[in-house]
Amino acid sequence: EELFNPVSVDSSTVVVTTVRMDSIETSGKSTVLVGKYTHNDWGTVIASSYIPFNLPSYSTDIDEVVYVDSLILRLPYNGYFIGDTTVLQHFTVHRLTEQIVLNDNGYLYNTSSVSYSPEILGRCSFKPRPNSAEKVEIRLSDELASDMLTRFHSRDESVTNSERFEEYFKGIVIIPDEQTSFSLQAFSVADTLTTLELHYHMLHEHKEAQILVFSPNTSTQFNHIDHDRSGS
């Protein structure tokens, strides 16, 4: 018969180690994350999102006369947020000057980035409503809208296939205003959710409104995240 002799101790030491990952995969996650959030313990997190778009199918007859109306970026909330949503959030949109390409392992990370133009394509100010079914809408440059419509309607070589289109329009980046952003907002990315819409019309007996919808390339869309831990 085995006997057990219990042993009691009056003290113990627990050794705890924290490991910080410097690179996290952020491509192909179906999420646009934009904003700034500061926490006394964690530090400051600033997120911007890079979004390329697929070539849409344009079918308006080349003999028609078309008139551009607007180019609209629509971002649907996915319900995730952190920070103060009672104050205005400010975003700017810029055009990429470098094509997004996945790394050799097929991913992009929070530390990844590509170059973009300092010129602002569009800006918006809004009070976040992350649990609503609303979408944040940002009107982009009328000049870009006109150039796109002209190219599509004339069947320009820059929009005749996916590779040429990616060279012409490499995508956009959404950047928060670091001085006036107090929350991180997440938006859903999918073929029918986040979209870029080119609105135009034709004139016959009445105005015939048309929409050319650009869907995001979900495999190469990614989020860049800066984390400043100083003072935390």
Give the pLDDT confidence score for residue 2 in this predicted structure: 60
Give the pLDDT confidence score for residue 21 in this predicted structure: 65
Give the pLDDT confidence score for residue 207 in this predicted structure: 87
A 10 A CB-CB count for 67 gives: 12
Give the pLDDT confidence score for residue 195 in this predicted structure: 94
Contact by Cβ (8 Å): 51, 172: yes
Shortest CA distance to 132 belongs to which of 90, 78, 185? 78
Tell me the two tokens of residue 73: 């970026």
Is this prediction's pTM over 0.85? Answer: yes
Residue 148 backbone phi and psi in degrees, to 5: -60, -50
Residue 215 to residue 72: CA distance in whole angstroms: 12
Report CA 30 to chain centroid distance, whole Å: 9
Give the pLDDT confidence score for residue 94 in this predicted structure: 98
Tell me the CB-side half-sphere exposure of residue 152, using CA atoms within 13 A: 27
3-state secondary structure of 191: coil
**Mean pLDDT per 10-residue segment, the chain (232 residues):** 72 81 88 92 92 96 96 95 92 97 94 96 94 94 98 96 96 93 91 90 88 96 92 74
Encode pLDDT of 68-91 as tens digits: 999 999 999 999 999 999 999 999
Report CA 167 to chain centroid distance, whole Å: 19
